Structure 1
């Protein structure tokens, strides 16, 4: 069966960018020179290209629809992100279809098929890392895609919005090093994800800059779902030489990690200095309040929506954009210089 022509095929045959074809299909989205418009329309006719329903909606002046695919709404980070995207979209008169994948590539594939059926014009997504062909097909059919929080290496031509993950991890590690810590544990997301790799990279860069030997046993990459954070913390503190500082760079595992510390009776910061990646108010209500890397969720939502709408309306030039938003480091009293007795106390637990 012959594959149906895509918007990219039209652009290639006409010798123009995809954004120009989009403007031809959606007259209100931007100007196109008359000769170029006729050229694109001729190619559309020759190839038998059929614009998607979403494009017809746009040209008819109906409300735009954007798909939002997040991995886990039980994770406060993604719950807040979804809420902010919907809020921002409403202010632009845009409808949002929210899907959740629960970190399952199979559910993600089903979600993408559903969004195609709904004829969305764009998708903002936190990808699981798989379904490369599905993402390519979505874009071949003219759907504009923006990845938020994570990226996929094989899809380097997709717009990405994230925090400065490497820089954030480096700043957290630098803070503990400045206090005198050399044994610093890191609990992060899976190394198969761009966020996990970047945060491990920032951690390692800080240690290397301070001429501190990197001990791989102090780095634990754990799944986003489940209680892997608490298990990782327990195993780190059971080491013959446990860490005196800990960075929990897996936002979904912060509560599990802190819960395990409380259950073990670890005194913060006397036994262990702690920094977490989180944006929840409860982190300053603990005793002591936790030092945090505060992720600017609102800015992630704003930039993601601006990018996807800019692509849908043909207002942005060709070429992928990567926007990295600086996160705030908020030092609190959960960090202090390491006590000489901390190692022996932790090792006996």
Structure 2
């Protein structure tokens, strides 16, 4: 069966950008030269292109609907992020269809099919890393896609909003190196994800800048679901030469990792300095309070909505946007100089 023409097909045939076609479809979103507008309308007629319901909603002034695809609502970070995005969308009069994939590419594929059937105007998503063709198809059909927190390297024309993952991991590692530590353990997300790779690279860069060798056994990339963080921590502590400090850069595994530390009775920071990527209130209530990388959820939500809304209204120029938001490093009492750490 012949595929229906997409907004990209119209742009290519008319010799204009996708944003110009979008402005033709949505007259209030920006000016288009009369001759160019006629060319685009002619191509739309020749190709039989049917603008999606989203575009018609825009031009008619009806309420817009976007899809929000998050990987795991049991992860406190994504639960809070989804809440902030929904709140921000409602402040713009935008309705949200929320889907969760539970880190499963198959569920993600089903979610994308559902969103296509719902004719959403745009999608904000934390991708699993799979379904490259489906994500590309979604864009080809004129759906504006913004990735938040993670990205997919193969999809080079998608807008992305994330924290400075490389910088956050590098700053955390540099802080511990500055305290005299040389055996720094890192528990992070899977290397198959952009966040996992960036945080490992930041960790490595800090070692390289300090002329320290990296022990690959101290790097544990673990799944987001389950209790693999705790298992990784137990394995690290059981090493013949265990680490003197720990960075948990997998937000979903922070609780599991800290639980294992409490269960083993290890003293923080006397026996182990600890930094976690989390901004839950409980991290400050720990004894001692944990040093954290605080991820700015509000800024991630605001920028994601601004990008998807700007695309829908044809107000952004062609080419993908990458917005990296700086995360705060809050040094509390869970880290101590190596000289004060009882090496075990």
Q: Give me the TM-score of the superposition, normalised by structure 1.
A: 0.97
Aligned to 2:84: 84
- Give the Cα–Cα distance (whole angstroms) in 2 for the partners of residues 142 and 76 of structure 1: 32
Report if aligned partners of 2:269, 2:341 keep a CA contact under 8 Å in 1: no
**Aligned equivalent of 2:316:** 316
CA RMSD of aligned residues (A): 0.8
Deviation at 1:26, TM superposition (A): 1.2
Gaps of 5+ in 1: 345-349
Question: Is residue 265 from structure 1 mapped to residue 261 from structure 2 by the alignment?
Answer: no
Distance in 1 between the 2:28 and 2:298 partners? 29
Q: Aligned to 2:10, what secondary structure does the other structure show?
A: helix
Local SS of the residue matching 2:343: helix
Q: Distance in 2 between matches of 1:340 and 1:77?
A: 33
- CA distance, structure 2, for counterparts of residue 272 and residue 76 of structure 1: 25
Match of 2:295 in 1: 295
Trace 1:9-28 onto structure 2 (pairs within 5 A). 9-28=9-28
Report what 1:227 is aligned to.
Answer: 227
Distance in 2 (CA, whole Å) between partners of 1:248 and 1:341 is: 19
Residue 338 of structure 1: CA displacement?
2.1
In structure 2, distance between residues paired with 1:308 and 1:341: 48
Q: CA deviation at 1:55?
A: 1.0
Structure 2 CA distance for partners of 1:341 and 1:59, relative to 1, 3 Å: closer
Q: Does residue 163 in structure 1 map to residue 160 in structure 2?
A: no
Equivalent pair of 2:244/2:341 in contact (CA under 8 Å) = no
- In the TM superposition, residue 60 of structure 1 has moved relative to its aligned partner by 1.2
Shift of 1:209: 0.7
Q: Deviations over 1:150-179 (max 9, x none)?
A: 010100110000000000000000010010
Contact 2:272–2:341 (CA under 8 A) maintained in structure 1: no
- Shift of the 35–327 alpha-carbon distance from structure 1 to 2, 3 Å rule, reads same
What do residues 294-338 of structure 1 show as CA deviations (whole Å, max 9, x unaligned)? 000110000000000000110000000100000000000000012
**How many Å apart are 1:61 and its aligned residue?**
0.9
Partner in structure 1 of residue 327 of structure 2? 327
Contact 2:186 2:218 in 1 (8 A): yes
Kindly indicate whether the alpha-carbon contact (under 8 Å) linking 1:291 and 1:330 is maintained by their aligned counterparts in 2. yes
> Structure 1 residue 27: deviation in Å?
1.2
Between the aligned partners of 2:3 and 2:119, the Cα distance in structure 1 is 19
Provide the rounded CA distance (Å) in 2 between the counterparts of 1:208 and 1:54: 49
Residue 340 of structure 1, CA deviation: 7.2
Q: Contact between 2:270 and 2:340, CA under 8 Å: does it hold in 1?
A: no
Asked whether the 8 Å contact 1:271–1:339 carries over to 2, the reply is no
CA displacement, residues 36-65 of structure 1 (integer Å, 9 cap, x when unaligned): 111100000111111111111111110111
Asked if the contact 1:190–1:222 (Cα under 8 Å) also holds between the matched residues in 2, the reply is: yes
Q: TM-score, normalised by structure 2?
A: 0.99
CA distance in 2, matches of 1:177, 1:254: 21
Q: Which residue of 2 aligns with 1:347?
A: none
Residues 245, 341 of structure 1: CA spacing in aligned structure 2 closer, same or farther, 3 A cutoff?
closer
Equivalences, count: 344
Unaligned runs of 5+ in 2: none
Cross-structure match for 2:4: 4
Moved more, 22-31 or 268-277: 22-31
1:67 aligns with 2:62: no
User: In structure 2, how many angstroms separate the alpha carbons of the residues matched to 1:219 and 1:82?
Assistant: 29
Q: 2: distance between equivalents of 1:341 and 1:173?
A: 17
Q: CA deviation at 1:34?
A: 1.1
C-alpha separation in 1, matches of 2:65 and 2:35: 31
- Partner Cα separation in structure 1 for residue 92 and residue 341 of structure 2: 57
Task: Answer yes or no: is 1:99 the counterpart of 2:88.
Answer: no
2:338 match: secondary structure: coil
Partner of 2:208 in structure 1? Answer: 208
Q: Within 2, Cα distance between the matches of 1:270 and 1:247?
A: 16
1:343 Cα deviation from its structure 2 partner: 2.9
Do structure 1's residue 124 and structure 2's residue 124 form an aligned pair? yes
The C-alpha deviation readout for 1:201-227, integer Å capped at 9, x for no partner, is 000000111111110000000000000
